[in-house]
Structures are given as structure tokens and as C-alpha cells.
Structure 1
């Protein structure tokens, strides 16, 4: 990752970035913010003169560059910081790394009295905006390797920077896992990556169930979905159990390492990005690793049901009846509605065996999510108003977005089946709502303490935008870490 250093005495001044806020009135020019440390003579005055000449508005993420040959600094960056809150500074951080990609180092002079929350946002923006994923040679890689943050009291901001580093590192891990092509990423590979990441963090316990164990214990949904692939399914159980924990949370993430749609095969345009169909599992695993790294005093058990939904003579068929963990059965008339089958097993296991205080699942579950809410917003479902409000607040504070959707009672009748306990993919009603209602049937006596997020659309980004980079976004890691911190 990009090297970030807090310093009260900046010693690398080739490229200096200065914050600029919008004018106090609509017709007032933007103006540089007084910085915490001294600048070379004349720099502040030059920046003040440049801002109105460059028609600089000072919006968060706006950047203007000025070359100064033969002087120090040789390049001056004016950075719009908008309202100067955490979200604005997150956008600023991403803008800096893009504007200075051809520089090797930047010194960013922060305003006097800047809040730790703003510094946290800035560092997250720097580290997430500089993310790149490639398996081949990268001749176009940015030259930027380091950023100094100039402040009067570096020690005061160290905790905020460490929080940001951990959050960004785990978000980048989720992005790496999701971006990895399915020619590399199968259930066993994914389980191995989780095991490797967990070894670096003391206090984590890991169990991986292979197909034989899944069959012996009755995980029929996971086995059905993974049965058509040469790469057998897995169920990863990762447990963080600190001695001072008073709350136990189970996180469940959908982990379909590639989704052809099975016998109900997808058209090619819909299939080409199906390496991202395990983004929910990547997010909950990364959030758990982050909680362990931060030593959060909350017990977290993460379940990642992993399978590859392929077409073969062993694939499950439309019309098959699947018996889930605990005994409930599903009629499966659409093999492309596979994610809810593996989640159902994991939810039922969590309720019956783990008995947590809270239960949350995260899944790239339906295209209907994007139809309802667009490409940046997850759909949140819960019967518990307070839990939903708390989770939405954490997601918003983290710079992600979700919207609460209804668990409409009049849709429940569509889940009925003539052959099984439930119909897994009814054709009537709103797709994302029906998927959530189906999952709720497996939450037992935790129904009032369960949350579900359908996050297919925001798990992927088609272009760089603020701290998001093209490809996997790692959506959910930041919001979950904020939420888990509130539970502790």
C-alpha cells in the first residue's frame, strides 16, 4: 500500500498540496485554509492568488496544479475540501493520488485543528483511491509511493491513521478476492486465502467443511449448488472470540466463486462478471479480520458458504427439491437463484447451533437491487427498526450507501410450494423483496434480530469515482467495521 507518514517537520517539498475551502458566500472566491505547519515563503500567498484566477470553487475532490520551475515546491496542488468533514476528506484523498500519480511523493499540509475523523477519511481515500488490481505486467503503474501529512501533533492523529490503514487494508483484501478471475478462484482457493489471512492475526479460529462433511451434516443447499462443478463446495467458519466480548454476532456472506446460472444458464453479457458473485463472502471475511486486527471486544462468527454454480450432468435441476440444514425443503425452479440456497443453509446452522445475539447476511443476491436503487446503494431488510437504523448510520458514516426496503407481508404467500416447504424463486412480486422474505424463513427465533443486505450492484464499479476504483469495490467492509465497533 501507499506509504503514509504523519510529520510536524516535512522535509520533502517537491510537490506540496494545500487545502482550499469554498468561499463563505456564493460570490466569494475559494481561499486556502491556514495550515498547521509553516510553508516555504510566498507559497500561501501564491495559492491565495491562484484560486480565484483558476476559477477554483473548492468543492471536495477538485484539484488544480501549478508548476513552479526552479522554486520550492516545484509543483503546487490546490485541493478543494468542501465542507471539510470526513466524507469530504475521503474524496480529497482519492483526488490527491490521481492528480499526483506521476509524482513519487506528495506533502499534504493539513489545516490547523483538523479533526481526527477528517484525517481518518483522508487516509482511507488515499489508500483506497490508489488501489489497483492486475495479474500481468503493469507498465502504467502510478509513480506515487508516499504521502506525508503535515500536522502540528502527529501523535494525536496516530489512532485515526491506524483505523484508516486497517479499514483500507481489509477493503483492499475484499477487492483482491473479488477481482481475482474464476480461473484461479474456486471454493478451495478461496478457503485457502481466508486461512492464510487468518494466520497473521492471533485469536482467530478457522474451520473448513469439505463436501463429505457437508453431506454428513446435512448442508443440502450448498451441496446442490456446488454439485455441478469439478471444484467441490466448502463452508468456511471463522471465529473471533475475545475474552471481554459481551455480544455475539454471526455474519454470513454469499460465496459463489463463479455463477453460470447452472442449467438455467445466464446469457453471456450477464455471465462475464460472475467472478464477483462472492463479494458478500469477501466482505464479511475481511470485516472479521479487521475486527480481529483492531481487537474489537465483540465475538464474531463468520460463515462463508462457497460454491461454483456450473452446468454438468451432476448439476441440480429446475424442479429439484433441496433439503436444507435443519430439515426445511425448497423447490428450486430456477438454478440461477442459487445464492439464497447456500445462504439458507448457513443461516439455519447459525440459528440452531451458534445461537448468536445478532445475525446479518450480505449477498450479491439479485439484479432487482440495481433496478430499485441503482448501482451504488445496497438494499437493507430487517424487521427490527433500531437495528436497521444503527446499521444504516454506520454504513453512511463509512462512506457507503444503503436504503431500507420493506419486507412486504402480502408477498409471503408467493413462497408457497405444492411440493416443498418453500418455493425458492417465485416469479411473482419484487425480486429482491422475495429473496429477503425467503431467507427470513431460515432465521427461526432470531427473526427479530436479523438483517439482510442485497449488495449486488454496489459490489462493482465501472469507472474510478472518489475512493472507488474500477472493478470490485469491497462494499460492506467499511460499513460492517463501523457497525461492529458500535456493538463493542
Structure 2
């Protein structure tokens, strides 16, 4: 991961970046040579730099120790503007050996957090094969030049921690499914949890799932030779006043089962555990940041495959706690495993707040496009807090309704409900199906359908092609907010 340090001087980096807002070149809080100021001012004037966040204009300086000058737009200079600036600067300077970015004296710690997150997240790479011709990025060291560097140390540390666990979520999601079995995922979580004090891990294997009645996880995983798991990861700091339970869909590969997908529909199904990756990463992040909030992550993991032991359309699944589901489509498997985990959370863990994340439906993308997750909750306060956290993190959500009269679309003649609805509104009916398993916690439950924004086809802002790690940053901002509300930040 890129190394970012704070300094009270610009030093001697190969490239120097200066901020520009819509009013022009922004004065910085560290000394610059007269020649650089004059050149930067002339470049802004000559190129008519808009100052929009993420716009970069470059001035070569052949023969100079700092041989490139980059003028980066920061927009209104809020955290989002600095995040865009950081991402754009990483791409503009990725082939340099080092980069210095000078900040204005009025910069807040949030500017450093945004800038660092943009740099780090745009610098993520996942590659299992040999490097492409021409090599990869060479930028390894960035200096952020500010007056009073100590004022920004906590913000930089937070950005590093958030980026690190977001990298993990992206790595888990990008990993090809021939390696990424439920057992592999659980072992990777164990390895990561061992690096941080205060975490408790339990992994339920198939025999334990059967003994405890996790019928949904077993049904979905029954067609694979690689059995399912339920990962339970807990962070329980002293003095925590609230218990948050996070549930994430963990389908390590989704063939669709007997209701099989098309070839094109399967190509990216290694990403169908993006929700599990996000909630595990967020819990690890809470521990790394020592957030004073109790967090339990539940990741139901299964591989949805076709075989003689696969569950069938028409089967009735008995979930944890006894509720039954008639399976009308084996490709609507995510809600079947999530149902077990939600029921267990509501019955056994007594959560103050219960939130699930899932790459659940294609209907999410139809309704909201590729960058926005659907948010469902009957709790206005919880929905508002999650929406605000997503906005602060640079991730988008849009709240959709939970109309009770749509429950009739999930009616079954032989079970408590069917796993798919008849009549459209696929994302809404999936959320309604899940809500029934939240039990006594349904008034403090939220569901995030994040299938579309979990993956991106090309670089955009702080995102790079492939898994985005969507939800990690939103959850950590939300947990930070809970800590602040409790006076424990």
C-alpha cells in the first residue's frame, strides 16, 4: 500500500501538486519558491483551470529536481473534493517515484482524510498474473505538506486503517472462486483477526450448522463439494454502550443452482460475497480504529452449485428458528442464507441495531443504476444515519419503501413464504422477505442491496476496475457516528 507521510516542508519529490479552487490557485501553508508560484499562477491563467474537484493540469519542468508541477482542482475544498483530488493525483503521478501535495493553512483534518483515502483507494491493484508490458505504477511515497503536521496525524491514521480494510474487502471479492471456497474465506478471516487484539471468532462447519438448525445455509450449500460455513466475528470493547450486528451475504460462487444462470450471468459471480467481505472488513476496521462500539459480524458462506445434492425448485427450507421458505427459484439463494443469519442475530444476539449488506438483486441496478445501493428500513433514524454515513464516505444510497401489501407477492401454499415474488419489484420483495426474519429487531433493522455498486468496469474517482469494497467505508463512518453520539469518539 502507498506510504503517506506528513511534513512541514515540500521536500524534494519528483512531482509537486498544488490545489486550485474555482477562484484560482489556493495559497498553501508551507514555503514555496518564487519560481514555482509564478509558474503555477501562469499555468492556471493560461489553461483556464476550472478548479473542479479532480481536474489535473500538468506543467513539465525539465532539468529541475521537481520535474513536474500538478495543479489539482479541489472544488469547494470539502472532504469529498479532497478525495477526488487524491484519486486524480494518484493517476496523474502514478509513474513518478514520489509526490508532494501542499495544503492550504485553513485545511481541516477531514481534508487530509479525504486526500489520503483518494490516493490510497485509487492506488489499489489486484493481479495474480505477470505484470503487463510497460510495468505498473511506480509511485510508492507521498508527502502531504502542511503547517503543524501533528494536527493531522489522527486523520491520516484513520484513512490508512479504512483503506487497509477496504483493500481486504476488494481482495476477497476479486479472488477467483476456484480458490475462494467457504472454508478458504473463513480461514482468511481467521488470519486477519489474529493480527488484531480483542476479536473473537467462531466458524460453524456443516455438522454444527445442521445441529443448530441453519437450514437455509445448508440448503444453498448442499450442491457443492465444498461445504458451507457461518463465520461469526466479534469486536467487544470495554465500555461499549451499543451492540451492532452486521450480516453479509457470502455466496462464494453462484451458478444459480438448478435454476442455472447463463454463461454471461456467471462470469462475475465470484463477487456474490461482496456483502460478507464488507461486513467482515468493517468489523476488522472497528477493531483497528478501537471504536467503542460492540460489533458482531455474521457471514453465511455457501457455494451455490448444480449437482445431485443441490436444493430444488419446490423444496421447502426450514430456517434457524423454524420459519419455512418454499424455494421457487434456486438463483434467489442469497436471501435464503441471509434469513438464517438474521434469525440467529435477532434471537440470540440481542442487537441494538441490525444491518445486512447483500449483492442481492439485479433489480437494484434497474432501479438505481451502477453506483447507488438500495436502502430499506422501517426506522427513519437508522435510515437517516446510514444515508448520512454513506454520503460522508463517498458511497451512494437511496431509500426505497417496504410496502406491507407487497408481502402477498411472496405468498406460498405450503410454507410461510416463497423465496421470490410474483409481480416484479424484485429488490423490494427481497427486502420484505428478509424483514420477516429480523423478528423482534425488525424496528431497528436495515437492509442494503448493493449488488450494482459492488463492482465497476473501469476506473472512476477512488474506484478501480473490479471489486469496489462498497459498504466498508459507509459502515465505518456509521460506527464512528454511533461512538460520537455516545460521547465515546
TM-score w.r.t. the length of structure 2 is 0.97
Q: Which structure 2 residues correspond to residues 279-298 of structure 1 after superposition, within 5 A?
A: 279-298=274-293
Q: Which structure 2 residues correspond to residues 221-232 of structure 1 after superposition, within 5 A?
A: 221-232=216-227
Q: CA deviation at 1:14?
A: 2.6
Q: CA deviation at 1:21?
A: 1.1
| Residue of 27, 45, 50 corresponding to 1:57 | 50
8 Å CA contact retained: 1:411, 1:429: no
1:114 is matched with which residue? Answer: 107
8 Å CA contact retained: 2:12, 2:65: no
Q: CA deviation at 1:356?
A: 1.1
Report which stretch shifted further, 1-10 or 276-285.
1-10
2:12 is matched with which residue? Answer: 12
| Residue of 29, 44, 49 corresponding to 2:37 | 44
1:219 is matched with which residue? Answer: 214
Report which stretch shifted further, 65-74 or 201-210.
65-74
Is 1:188 the equivalent of 2:183?
yes
Q: Give every structure 1 segment of 4 or more consecutive aligned residues whose post-TM-superposition deviation is greater than 3 Å.
A: none
Is 1:127 the equivalent of 2:123?
no
Is 1:100 the equivalent of 2:130?
no
What is the total number of aligned residue pairs between the two structures?
Answer: 481
Distance 1:75 1:130 in 2: 20
1:201 is matched with which residue? Answer: 196
Is 1:136 the equivalent of 2:129?
yes
1:34 is matched with which residue? Answer: 27
1:370 is matched with which residue? Answer: 365
Distance 1:449 1:435 in 2: 18
Q: CA deviation at 1:57?
A: 1.1
2:487 is matched with which residue? Answer: none
Q: CA deviation at 1:320?
A: 0.3
Q: CA deviation at 1:72?
A: 4.1
Distance 1:14 1:294 in 2: 33
| Residue of 72, 79, 83 corresponding to 2:72 | 79
Distance 2:182 2:381 in 1: 36
Report which stretch shifted further, 75-84 or 251-260.
75-84
- Match of 2:34, SS state, is coil
Gaps of 5+ in 1: 24-30
Q: CA deviation at 1:8?
A: 0.6
Q: CA deviation at 1:71?
A: 2.6
1:283-322 per-position Cα deviation (integer Å, ceiling 9, x unaligned): 0000000000111111111100000000000000001000
Q: CA deviation at 1:428?
A: 1.5
Q: CA deviation at 1:41?
A: 2.8
* CA RMSD in angstroms, aligned pairs only: 0.8
2:486 is matched with which residue? Answer: none
1:465 is matched with which residue? Answer: 460
Distance 1:36 1:152 in 2: 6
Distance 2:119 2:175 in 1: 23
1:449-474 per-position Cα deviation (integer Å, ceiling 9, x unaligned): 00000000000011100101100000
| Residue of 346, 358, 362 corresponding to 1:351 | 346
8 Å CA contact retained: 1:17, 1:79: yes
Q: Which structure 2 residues correspond to residues 64-463 of structure 1 after superposition, within 5 A?
A: 64-139=57-132, 140-463=135-458
Distance 2:348 2:65 in 1: 65
Q: CA deviation at 1:255?
A: 0.2
1:486 is matched with which residue? Answer: 481
- Match of 2:16, SS state, is strand
- Match of 1:307, SS state, is strand
Q: CA deviation at 1:427?
A: 2.4
- Match of 1:42, SS state, is helix
Q: CA deviation at 1:10?
A: 3.0
Report which stretch shifted further, 134-143 or 152-161.
134-143
Distance 1:87 1:11 in 2: 27
- Match of 2:347, SS state, is helix
8 Å CA contact retained: 1:32, 1:44: no
Distance 2:348 2:234 in 1: 14
